[in-house]
A and B are shown apart, each in its own frame.
Chain A
Amino acid sequence: MENSKQFVHKGVVYSITTLLLIPILATFIYSLSSSWGATILPDGFTFKWYSSLLTDPRFLDAFGRSLFICIASLLLATLLVLPMIFVVFYYYPKLDKVMNLLILLPFAVPPVVSSVGLLQLYANSSFQLVGTPWILIGTYFTIALPFMYRAIANSFTAINLKDLIDAAHLLGATTTKAFLLIILPNLKKGLLASLFLSFSFLLGEFVFANILVGTRYETLQIYLYNMRQTSGHFTSALVMTYFAFIFLSTWLASRLTRGNNQ
């Protein structure tokens, strides 16, 4: 009885996993096959799609741009959000409720709508912002904000902030020192988790990138979109490379966050 039950459970889990893996596996095989037309199995295997992708300077440039924008917006978010949450939690704990409403705003407006609004807002500004990476960094900051705020705020509630800072003050530490030496190390886990989550989310962002900047600053997703007319094998290789990268960073994230949990 117990065994047959477990058999059913395992069966469900394995079949769902297989179902989810099929498209990834198919894409992977397609990206490795020389041609795969009217036959059940591909005609032959080759690495040429990967080699042509990884030697394409346009791809490498787009990848670099995407990395730059993501890292820059996350850096901006970290620098702004960390001290802000500290101020909210330590000096004005009542503001947490306001913040929780505020961080929901980016979700309330769909990207297509808000990008049009941003275009109108910045199209006629005295300095050129639309079409540059800077507007994208600013926009991505608002997308990353909810993830960052929630995760870091959770870490803040998990520690006894007031008593810890008070104890540090009485032992001679300034508020800045107390923040850097005591509070920050305890936020590491939440911060890293939110950074990696936002990173993989931002790397795959297409709508804002396409409308606000488009081909003038080709990011990875725009490149993928522009390459849709070329060989399917090539785009499959592109998708698999992207997927592998996200997988790697997620794995790294779980490794790092686990490392903190001594």
Chain B
Amino acid sequence: MTIQANTLRASSARRVAAEVPKIIIYVLLTLVAIVSLFPLYWLFNTALTPATSTVKLPPDLIPMNATLNNFTEIIRTAGTSKIPIPGSAEPLVIPRIYLWFINTAFIAIFSTAVHVLFDSMAGYAFAKRKFPGSNVLFWLILAALMIPGQVTLVPLYLMITRMGLVNTFPGVILPGLADVIGIFLLKQYIQTLPSELEEAARIDGASEWMIYTKIILPLTVPALAVTAIFSFQRYWNSFLWPLIVLQTPDLFTLQVGLSFIHTSEFGTNYGMMMAGAALAAIPMIIFFFAFQKYFMQGLRIGAIKG
């Protein structure tokens, strides 16, 4: 009885002691989160603030007279593009920023699709199949993870120059596809799958391609999702390589286009610049909230024996 009462008292005291620091924890965490999220908040705040209120002191801490004028302004400033339509004399005229959007989405989606297919094929072979050279090749891939991308920058540029691919999408996409992290990630994952299903299917006379598509791929969906998500984020945000390859504004990606406007005479129109930055950021924000679970999972898969 006494012992029980004592333990009760001790535990409730501990609970009170735990509640007080909890408030401090919330306050601290919220403060750090506000600082961390502030640039993103300031981006949208400025983007929605009328241009006349952007350059004044004190600044509007919340968008009091919210307007989309900055967005129409950036769309106007980026100019228009003429797209020839087959069978029509009149080209289609659209705001160039829409084209940048389409270009970025095309490069990101195409590159991601290729990565998911090729990386899962290679990951499956390295994880489950024994063949001469597999160890050497896999070690080469691991070694390549250590090499910073800047080492290949100049040779790749000289290569696409020789191939006549400067200022083309293949010039951006092809060398951009050289990234081995997905192979590594998928190999790690596929290794953990049991081999029985595969072997049973082989005995039943399934072709090797069918085993890959009908057995391996369905079991690998979580890891494929992680690969796809990280790859899409990387290609959507990619900057240095497209900046080097692309020269014609109509071919720019959003990141390159933004940097192009930033260095132009309009670069100091901050409301407009923030609207442009918001346009590039919004798809990634939606993307993050849609696939948050996979982002968190992917980090852990990547870190295991990273």
Do the two shown chains form a genuine complex with each other?
A: no
Binding site for B on A (CB under 8 A): none
Binding site for A on B (CB under 8 A): none
